[in-house]
Structure 1
Amino acid sequence: MLCLKRNIAGKTAKESNKEKERQLPISKSGPITPIKQSESTTAVSSNNGAQSAPTTPVIPMQEEISHTEMNQINDVTDKLEKVVQITPDRIGQAIDSLMTPALVLDIDRIKANAQAMLKRAEEYGVQLRPHMKAHKTLEGANIMTGGTKRCISVSTLAEAKFYADAGYDDILFAGYLDKDKVEICAEIAEEIKSFHVLLDSYYVIELLRDRPLKDDKVWSVYIGVECRYNGTGVDPLDYSGVGLAVSLTSEPNIFFNGLYVNCENAYSCTDAEAVLGVGQDTANTVINFAKKLRYYYAYRKMKKHKVEFPHVNFGSTPVCSLPFEVMKNVTEWNAGSYIFYDMRNKTLGACNTDDIAIEVLAKVIAHYPNRNQLLIDCGWTALNYQGSQHGHGVFKGHPHLKITSMFQEESKVEDVRGNLDLGRYPIGTILRILPYNACATAALHGSFYIHSKGVVVEEWRPVKGW
């Protein structure tokens, strides 16, 4: 059912727009004084008795608005804008009343997933540095950090600026720099307490050297380490990585903060046992590389200096959900999609179906009896195209249904058992899809509907852009 957004006065957006059109603008000199109808429509009679066009009234101007009054107006405007961002008609209603496709998040599962990961990291004696790329919201970040607003990773500079402006003071930009991004990073680094960047080449060192930070601050740098699946980062088995680390020790405006390895190779596994094997191999590789660096002495001003650094950052959602003893030998864990989990992590044994907090709601909009298919109003722009071999996701409560053909805005659905009982799915039926990849799916939506036990309680809006 189509519901109109209403403002706090109970007016529809259309009614509010009409009111705005009737309101008079504020000029630089002050608000324009309303003119009575009799004053503004004075007509001049012609010789034949017809009336000419009304004369233009002289509008008296009032005194200029004070800064205090303008600030008060701006404060009220900001609050009103925040109120109308959320659709009051949806709060307190069942998620099945939402216009589809819609992304819905179970707040109780989100909190349980976040708390479990925080507890797991504490038990292993490491600092959790959660990645924000799955949700890109302040609400999600506060839950993942346990309210500390510290130690996070981001994938874009838009996220970095977003969280810095919100008071987060320990941010790792886990993306590689180029010339265009350095100035933005510098501004953030000069603004907050701890901002870290990632590099795997001398090119970035030169960029940082050419842009010293103000107030005697220095760049904090992690070296990205490739986790043996042809990804990004330095090769931990090659001495070129050692040379890069050694070069950092001679840069006066750079602090070598540690090594960073995102264990994305765990996602190439097929089950929990394989995740454990890949995770252990990758962890041992990066730990041995760290030992190699710490025992390496570099000559600086004719004296030997050890290559020191405080952190080894390691992880991904699968390996941090299935931790092993070796992971106690790193200092930071990085993981992100665990806040939602998804069918990909379920396939790997990193979570159970009941842990998945993210769903996409879709509606049955057509039947095709001759092809044993039904059509839903959810295509790759709402669910994403990943996991095609797994049907792009799983229909909750209907595991026999599968997306067999996906378009931009719609998808065709069949029954893997054979004949599809279309009578069981009348047009208008709401279906709930557990996505294969939570991060990719969430990135397609500009609004997340947060629910508890199927009732909408709030709305989150992720930051967009790069």
Structure 2
Amino acid sequence: MKLDELDTPAALVDVPRMNRNIARMQSRMNALGVRFRPHVKTTKCLEVVRAQLAAGANGITVSTLKEAEAFFAAGVTDILYAVSIAPSKLPRAMALRQRGCDLKLVVDNARAAEEVAKFCAGQRETFEVWIEVDTDGHRSGIAPEHDALLEVGRILHDGGVKLGGVMTHAGSSYELHTPDALSALAEQERSGCVRAAQRLRDAGYPCDVVSAGSTPTALSAAKLDGVSEVRAGVYVFFDLVMHNVGICSTDDIALSVLTTVIGHQPEKNWVIVDAGWMAMSRDRGTSKQTQDCGYGLPCKLDGSLLTDWVLSGANQEHGILSPVGEARETESLEARFPIGMKLRILPNHACATGAQFPEYHALSADGETTLWSRFHGW
């Protein structure tokens, strides 16, 4: 189907842009001499993951066991579950291991490590477990120099659990917007994770893998000495947050939401569309950045940006397009944006917007679309 034949709202994937993004990241990782393990939580889509693996990726990163199960069923075996494991999920994770999935788990505290060791002893089986390291104070993990790092290593090692490596995620990179700041954080991420691995090795614990990465730091690192692999996810689609960070242009954003003009409020200079927050998500990640993009930026069907317009408001099924600042149209809203006109909206956060839809309409270079399924849940 062509774009003007699709019902709206609909999630569109610009396949040429996506493939260009995949090639860019994989080429950079190859040049830096590290393996690349893409995070698939952004897309949750088999067709996208196949393209990433075909380009040279080694294994995948997931954020839910449902992702692990779905991609393992599709033939992907090397999987990192990059969220500290909840004890209640250990039987489900073990079922994957017993079916042949090379599933790695993550912990970042002694209690979680004890629960894993206890479970493995009861099952007379083992997991491969990585320790999450906090290199920027963004979220979870153990600081590289903290005593807890060696304590967790000891619990796993003495408990007969395979300590496979360390991993970190410099999520605070999303708050930056200059090349110098991004490269500095990339080095902080690298050195911190390498230091944690060295401390574990010096204490006599095996630590083969050093895994780092976020999309901004992966594209900004000058060197990755001591790092085994890099993980990144949103690069495959990019979004307006990444544009504001400074690592992509709007022409690189491969995900958009197709919407239809359904009304006007001339006295307010508003155009009403049928993509509200149920389509775009509530994510307002650009609100604290250098450019506030509202709930998204509108484009023509060919993907070209409608400058000076923004999706400034969103109710459940209504979106409000308005001009930026004091700009006003010289022609009427009805003439510029007639009822039934279709537009594309670039999202703030590709992961959040994608999660609103059960499928993507993959848009080829010739303008035809193909359905790609994605899945929800945990």
Q: TM-score, normalised by structure 1?
A: 0.74
Query: Which residue in 1 is equivalent to 2:283?
Result: 386
Alignment partner, residue 458 of structure 1 = 370
Q: Work out which of the residue numbers 82, 91, 94 in structure 2 matches 1:186.
A: 94
1:429 corresponds, among 341, 354, 372, to 341
Shift of 1:461: 0.8
Q: Tell whether 2:202 aligns with 1:295.
A: yes
1:414 CA displacement: 1.0
- TM-aligned CA deviation for residue 193 of structure 1: 4.5
Q: Which residue of 1 aligns with 2:237?
A: 340
RMSD of aligned C-alpha atoms? Answer: 2.0
> Is the contact made by 1:198 and 1:222 (CA closer than 8 Å) also made in structure 2?
yes
Residue 213 of structure 2 aligns with an amino acid whose one-letter code is G
The offset of 1:209, in angstroms, is: 2.4
Compared CA separation, residues 150 and 279, structure 1 to 2 (3 A): closer
1:257 aligned partner: 164
Give the one of 349, 357, 364 matched to 2:254.
Answer: 357
Residues 1:392 and 1:328: Cα distance change in structure 2 (over 3 Å): farther
**CA distance, structure 1, for counterparts of residue 137 and residue 120 of structure 2:** 34
Asked if the contact 2:279–2:357 (Cα under 8 Å) also holds between the matched residues in 1, the reply is yes
Contact map agreement 1:271 1:347 (CA 8 A) in 2 = no
1:400 corresponds in structure 2 to: 308
Whether contact under 8 Å (1:227, 1:265) holds in the other structure is: no
Q: Which residue of 1 aligns with 2:328?
A: 419
Equivalent pair of 1:103/1:361 in contact (CA under 8 Å): yes
Question: More deviation in 224-233 or 204-213?
Answer: 204-213
Whether contact under 8 Å (1:213, 1:219) holds in the other structure is no
Contact map agreement 1:224 1:261 (CA 8 A) in 2: yes
> Would you say the 8 A contact 1:142–1:148 is kept in 2?
no
1:38-83 Cα offsets, whole Å, 9 max, x none, are xxxxxxxxxxxxxxxxxxxxxxxxxxxxxxxxxxxxxxxxxxxxxx
What 5-or-longer segments of structure 2 have no aligned partner? Answer: 300-304
Q: Does 1:330 align with 2:227?
A: yes
The 3 A distance-change label for structure 1 pair 221 and 279 is same
Q: Deviations over 1:95-145 (max 9, x none)?
A: 122111111111112122112222221221111011000111111111111
1:448 Cα shift?
Answer: 0.2
Alignment partner, residue 271 of structure 2? 374
Q: Which amino acid aligns with 1:240?
A: A
- The equivalent residue for 1:75 is none
Aligned partners of 1:112, 1:338: CA distance in 2, in Å? Answer: 10
Residues 409-451 of structure 1 show CA distances to partners (whole Å, capped at 9, x for unaligned) of: 1111211143244021111111111111111110111110001
- Evaluate the alpha carbon distance shift between residue 381 and residue 109 of structure 1 in structure 2; reply closer, same or farther with a 3 A threshold: same
- Structure 1 position 403, deviation (Å): 2.0
Q: Secondary structure at the match of 2:362?
A: strand
How far, CA to CA, are the matches of 1:331 and 1:142 in structure 2? 22
Q: Which has the larger radius of gyration?
A: 1
How far off its partner does 1:214 sit? Answer: 10
Question: Which residue of 2 is the match for residue 47 of structure 1?
Answer: none
Normalising by structure 2, we get a TM-score of 0.91
Question: Which runs of 5 or more structure 1 residues have no equivalent in the other structure?
Answer: 1-92, 297-305
> In the TM superposition, what whole-angstrom CA distance separates every residue of 1:189-234 from its partner, at most 9, and x where no partner exists?
1112411001012222232223338997521001011122241011
Tell me, yes or no, if structure 1 residue 171 matches structure 2 residue 69.
Answer: no
User: Of 165, 177, 186, which residue of structure 2 is paired with 1:279?
Assistant: 186
Matching of residues 95-114 of structure 1 within 5 Å: 95-114=3-22
In the other structure, the counterpart of 2:68 is: 160
Per mean C-alpha deviation after superposition, the further-off stretch among 254-263 and 275-284 is: 275-284
The alignment covers a number of residue pairs equal to 363
Give the Cα–Cα distance (whole angstroms) in 1 for the partners of residues 231 and 6 of structure 2: 34
Match of 1:139 among 42, 47, 50: 47
Other-structure match for 2:216: 318
Contact 2:117 2:155 in 1 (8 A): no
Aligned to 1:439: 351
Aligned-residue offset at 1:289: 2.2
In the TM superposition, residue 454 of structure 1 has moved relative to its aligned partner by 5.7
Is residue 240 of structure 1 aligned with residue 148 of structure 2?
A: yes
**Distance in 1, Cα, partners of 2:145 & 2:196:** 7
**CA spacing shift, 1:149–1:116, aligned 2, 3 Å:** closer
Secondary structure of 2:225's counterpart equals helix
Seq. identity, %: 28
Deviates more, 1:368-377 or 1:267-276: 267-276
The structure-2 alpha-carbon separation of the partners of 1:247 and 1:381, relative to structure 1 and needing over 3 Å to count, comes to same
Query: How many angstroms apart in 1 are the aligned matches of 2:85 and 2:359?
Result: 29
Q: CA deviation at 1:334?
A: 0.4
Q: Check conservation: 1:189, 1:195, Cα contact below 8 A.
A: yes
The equivalent of 2:302 in structure 1 is none
2 CA distance for matches of 1:206 and 1:242?
13
Distance 1:211 1:148, change over 3 A: farther
Rounded Cα–Cα distance in structure 2 between residues aligned with 1:182 and 1:197: 9
Residues 344 and 436, structure 1, Cα contact 8 Å, conserved in 2: yes
Contact 2:166–2:196 at 8 Å: present in 1 too? no
How far the C-alpha of 1:285 sits from its partner, in A, is 1.8
Task: Give, in whole Å, the separation in 2 of the partners of 1:213 and 1:162.
Answer: 28
Question: What residue identity is the alignment partner of 1:368?
Answer: Q
Q: Which amino acid aligns with 2:279?
A: A
1:3: which partner in 2?
none
